[in-house]
């Protein structure tokens, strides 16, 4: 497939690009500053584009089969860019007549056993709340979109690690192991996302993946 990827230079975005390229897909890394994209160029091209500008999104993704967004505000950025990006992506992708959009989301809006969302528990770190609230708001925007979107929430803890090739999925509930922990490596998260690209099961749905 021809995949347009926003956020290819982030920790998760890099792994999504690598997983897609390993599987033989053609990837266009869309970035505001293409000179900063240092991924291998075999079957990868780079295009200039701004995820917060619908016109720019439409131009960058035209002719692709699917758009993946792995954008985030970074450590010091404004979490509200997640919400602004949701509006811009939906508008731009629809203008370009690309039907499929997959979004790297957050885990905070996943439900735990009590029915509460993870973000609303006392244990949820305060420092994570602004981004988690923005991800929750963005999910509501995608749910209202007339587009074949998919929103992939990670486990509660996601970090660089090993590509084990194993993961379990859920929908709106947090997936935990026998110890009650919810974790996944970025490598296996990327695998779960590309599996959804190739074999769609969660169109117009949120799903989550964890070990």
**3-class SS letters over 5-36:** EECCCCHHHHHHHHHHHHCCCEEEEEECCHHH
Bridge partners, 4 (sequence order): 28, 67
Domains and CATH numbers, the chain: 2-210 (3.40.50.720)
Determine the 3-state secondary structure of 135 from DSSP: helix
pLDDT computed for residue 114 by the predictor? 76
pLDDT computed for residue 136 by the predictor? 98
pLDDT computed for residue 41 by the predictor? 79
Ramachandran quadrant class, 25 (left: phi over 0; alpha: psi -120 to 50; beta: rest): beta
pTM metric for this prediction: 0.97
pLDDT computed for residue 75 by the predictor? 83
Determine the 3-state secondary structure of 120 from DSSP: helix
Q: pLDDT tens digits, the chain, 211 residues: what are they?
A: 999 999 999 999 999 999 999 999 999 999 999 999 998 878 899 999 999 999 999 999 999 999 999 999 988 899 999 999 999 999 999 999 999 999 999 999 999 977 899 999 999 999 999 999 999 999 999 999 999 999 999 999 999 999 999 999 999 999 999 999 999 999 999 999 999 999 999 999 999 999 9
């Amino acid at each position: 497939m021809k995949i347009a990827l926003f956020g290819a230079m982030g920790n998760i975005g890099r792994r999504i690009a690598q997983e897609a390229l390993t599987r033989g897909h053609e990837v266009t890394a869309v970035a505001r500053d293409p000179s900063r994209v240092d991924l291998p160029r075999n079957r990868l091209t780079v295009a200039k584009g701004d995820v917060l500008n619908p016109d720019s999104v439409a131009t960058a993704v035209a002719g692709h089969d699917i758009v993946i967004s792995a954008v985030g505000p970074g450590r010091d950025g404004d979490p509200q860019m997640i919400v602004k990006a949701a509006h811009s992506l939906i508008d731009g992708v629809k203008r370009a007549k690309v039907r499929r959009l997959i979004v790297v989301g957050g885990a905070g809006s996943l439900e735990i056993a009590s029915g509460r969302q993870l973000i609303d528990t006392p244990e949820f770190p305060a420092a994570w709340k602004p981004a988690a609230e923005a991800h929750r708001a963005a999910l509501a925007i995608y749910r209202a979109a007339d587009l074949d979107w998919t929103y992939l929430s990670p486990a509660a803890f996601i970090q660089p690690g090993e590509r084990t090739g194993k993961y379990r999925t859920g929908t709106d509930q947090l997936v935990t192991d026998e110890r009650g922990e919810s974790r996944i490596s970025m490598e296996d998260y990327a695998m779960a996302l590309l599996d959804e690209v190739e074999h769609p099961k969660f169109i117009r749905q949120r799903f989550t993946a964890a070990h």
